[in-house]
Amino acid sequence: MKKYLPKSQVGALFGASLATACCWVPLTLAITGVTVAGLSQTLELWAPFFYALTAVLIAYSFWVGFLRKAPECGPCDEESPALTARPARIFFFAHLALVGLILAVPAMMTLSASSTEAIEAPTEDQTFLSAVDLTIGGMDCGGCALTIERTLRNLDGVHAAQVDFAAARAHVTFEDALVSADALASHTAGLGYDVTADDCTH
């Protein structure tokens, strides 16, 4: 395994994971109940560097596996480069596919966020519920939308929450006695986003 998976390929996987961390790390923390204000924005500042690092490491891996001239084999060598070239190249393409999958995480999260089912209107038995629309600035991918949505749904008094990444808005249905619209806006802003609450509807 070590022979076919050089450090440059391991580094590319690590770099790709860090490049997309601004999407999956905050969501993971939100799912587990941990919140860190502004974490997504902090990670996003480093994303271009990690994207570049990943590209450089992939290019280096390609050069090592396909372009660099193999050393001459002596009569005592156990295995020639010709015998290891094919497995090494198979590992390279498998590694490349995995890196591509990791880098596609933001796009997949955006697609998932845009396909969220619409929230049903309150029924007659839920007349005590209120609803508010939040305008949210600073979302960079579907991961942000899913993180905010998950965080809002975990708040006491919130019955439903839907975040539309494309429209940069959230629609939240909540119980007045347990939480207010201002508290919802403040909590979302505490995640590191610019939030404005529209008028509530009852």
3-state secondary structure the chain: CCCCCCHHHHHHHHHHHHHCHHHHHHHHHHHCCCCCCCHHHHHHHHHHHHHHHHHHHHHHHHHHHHHCCCCCCCCCCCCCHHHHHHHHHHHHHHHHHHHHHHHCHHHHHHHHHHCCCCCCCCCHHHCCEEEEEEEEECCCCHHHHHHHHHHHHCCCCEEEEEEECCCCEEEEEEECCCCCHHHHHHHHHCCCCEEEECCCEC
The pLDDT tens digits for 109-163 are: 766 665 554 445 555 455 578 899 999 998 888 888 888 888 899 899 999 999 9
The pLDDT tens digits for 49-66 are: 888 888 888 888 888 777
pLDDT band at 1; cut points 50, 70, 90: very low
Name the residue with tokens 């955006």: 110
pLDDT band at 192; cut points 50, 70, 90: confident
